[in-house]
A and B are shown apart, each in its own frame.
Chain A
Amino acid sequence: ETGVTQSPTHLIKTRGQQVTLRCSSQSGHNTVSWYQQALGQGPQFIFQYYREEENGRGNFPPRFSGLQFPNYSSELNVNALELDDSALYLCASSLDGGLRSPLHFGNGTRLTVT
């Protein structure tokens, strides 16, 4: 059974640039959620994708967008990067969009915006 994998592990970008982060979900999981973890804070929900459709969104601006592909892998895109976007971005997969089974997290992508 393959776990959740994220790429890249680290990334440095300049303010105003765009970034794409990638996630492969755990085998058999059809739901992917993205979370942002700022330093010293808990993860914050960005959005969830279920069967290629956005299925819920947190309090993040529209410049945060995503995609889910037929194989259930996912991308997180952030446009017009700001310094406050520097954080650990976590992808988590689960089955059937629900939260009654635990989320399985990847190791994250550490984004630094300078």
Chain B
Amino acid sequence: DQQVKQNSPSLSVQEGRISILNCDYTNSMFDYFLWYKKYPAEGPTFLISISSIKDKNEDGRFTVFLNKSAKHLSLHIVPSQPGDSAVYFCAASAWGAQKLVFGQGTRLTINP
């Protein structure tokens, strides 16, 4: 039962343009959402998070949008840079739970 889904295994974007990565979830108990970025041979690194009491959180070039009624979140990267090429994981947790539930990841490639 895949509670967090990233339906696009890969995404290719031109440098300077906007990258939009999408994530859907099914568990209505999830109230905290995060995005992690992973380079080859490294562990995931935290990018940005959002609580369910908000619908938007921004940090520099990165913005996460949450649509609770649709159980959907997205990560926007503007402008995209070559160093953004990596695998991006969406993750979710419920209050009091000890675990993060991850999606399958989306491989983002930024083309010069």
Q: Which residues of A contact B (CB under 8 A)?
A: 4, 33, 35, 40-45, 48, 55-56, 58, 90, 92, 97, 99-100, 102-108
Contact = CB atoms under 8 A, between A and B. Distances in A.
A45 to B, nearest CB: 4
A45 B105 contact: no
Given A41-B104, A42-B89, A102-B34, A107 B98 contact: no
Given A41-B104, A42-B105, A103 B99 contact: no
B32 A99 contact: yes
B99 A58 contact: yes
Contact of B102 (A4, A42, A100): A42
Contacts of A99: 32, 93, 97-100
Nearest to A46: B99
Nearest to A110: B41
Contact of A44 (B44, B97, B102, B105): B102
Interface of B: 4, 6, 32, 34, 36, 41-46, 49, 89, 91, 93, 97-105
Of A48, A55, A102, most B-chain CB atoms within 10 Å = A102
B97 A4 contact: no
Given A42-B89, A43-B44, A102-B34, 18 more contacts: A35-B102, A42-B6, A42-B105, A43-B89, A43-B100, A44-B102, A45-B99, A56-B98, A58-B99, A90-B43, A90-B44, A99-B93, A102-B46, A103-B46, A105-B36, A106-B43, A107-B42, A107-B43
